[in-house]
Amino acid sequence: MDPRRSYRFGAMLAVAASVVALASNAPHAHADTLAETGGTPPELNTAAVSATQAAPRYLSDWLHQSIGVIGSKDIRFGPYLTNDVYLEYEYFGRKGPFDLYGYVDVPRAFGVGNGYDTGITNKGSPLFTEQEPRVSIDDLVGRHLGFGPFKEWYAAFDWIYDQGHNVSGRQNTLYMGLGTDIATPLPVYLSANLYVRRQWENYGAANANSWDGYRAQMKVVYPIGTFSGGSLTFVSFFNYDFGSRLAEETGGNTRSDTAFVSTNVLIYEFQHWRFWTAARYFHNGGQWNGTTLNFGSGPFQNRSTGWGYYASVGYRF
């Protein structure tokens, strides 16, 4: 496994939840789309929607797009802590039964990062992308399948691809399973997905080309309010990976069969401009065990448990 590139696995969903909170300013946004990607559902922010009914439309009235610059620090998805400044394009939207979300990153796009950070400017990966569509089962069968707090059901997918500079720097992972939106009596919006994982390339790890484990995911959105013309939203989501056999297949004590990542995001956004910051807690990030490692240049402590941070400025069009 390439220790310089492994952190990029952690780019997935780092800001997926935050970017679509802009939809609180878009009267055409669909609440189910927002639930999937972590944005603010229109019914939770009707004041912001009403205030922008007359605002000019974006390039599309259903596919919402943005581009941003993201700075990250102490990211713990690989053997080394990494810092990076990268470029990201994101989109989301609901069209019929299709609830779409995805992004494309250009790692180290500006040549800024620490010594373990690689990307397009220093012979690392030129592209990292994640596509996270859901397909409404309710829409496909033509009837409401929700019951109790479960509002709608989806066939859920999450495909992650890191192009890498070579095979040891490449990842190709598909999660697939079942998703739902969950009603609450509070001004909070919940969505959840449960996946099985199909692993192809994985930075040279022992679980390549196998079915290996599961992921439980939950997202929470709380719209705080509107201040000085911008909306403030809190988003939290977690991924829990379990049921893997990576530790057994690798041998020794360097890898883990479980990993947990919890992300907390504060977003301040206007019609086009958006600003957000995030604190992310890793436990066995990237399924590394936090042990002493040695890749041939001397032993070092793998710090796969602890906090990492992000900040971004972006523009929606």
Is the alpha carbon torsion for 213, 214, 215, 216 positive or negative?
A: negative
Q: What are phi and psi of 305, to 5 degrees?
A: -120, 130
pLDDT attached to residue 87: 97
Domains of the chain: 6-132+221-316 (2.40.230.20)
Position 242, amino acid: F
Q: What whole-number distance in Å separates Cα of residue 237 and Cα of residue 189?
A: 11
Q: Residues with Cβ < 8 Å from 25, sequence gap 6 or more? A: 48, 49, 52, 55, 231, 269, 270, 271
pLDDT attached to residue 297: 83
Q: What whole-number distance in Å separates Cα of residue 182 and Cα of residue 195?
A: 17
Interval 120-166: pLDDT, tens = 999 889 999 999 999 999 999 999 999 999 999 999 999 999 998 88
Q: Is the pLDDT of residue 29 over 80?
A: no
Tokens 């400025």, located at residue: 313
Interval 199-253: pLDDT, tens = 999 999 999 999 999 999 999 999 999 999 999 999 999 999 999 999 999 999 9
Q: Is the pLDDT of residue 28 over 90?
A: no
Interval 30-63: pLDDT, tens = 323 333 333 334 334 433 334 444 555 789 999 9
Q: What whole-number distance in Å separates Cα of residue 203 and Cα of residue 104?
A: 19
Tokens 């080309």, located at residue: 209
Question: Closest Cα to residue 226, out of 49, 56, 54, 27?
Answer: 49
pTM above the 0.85 mark? no
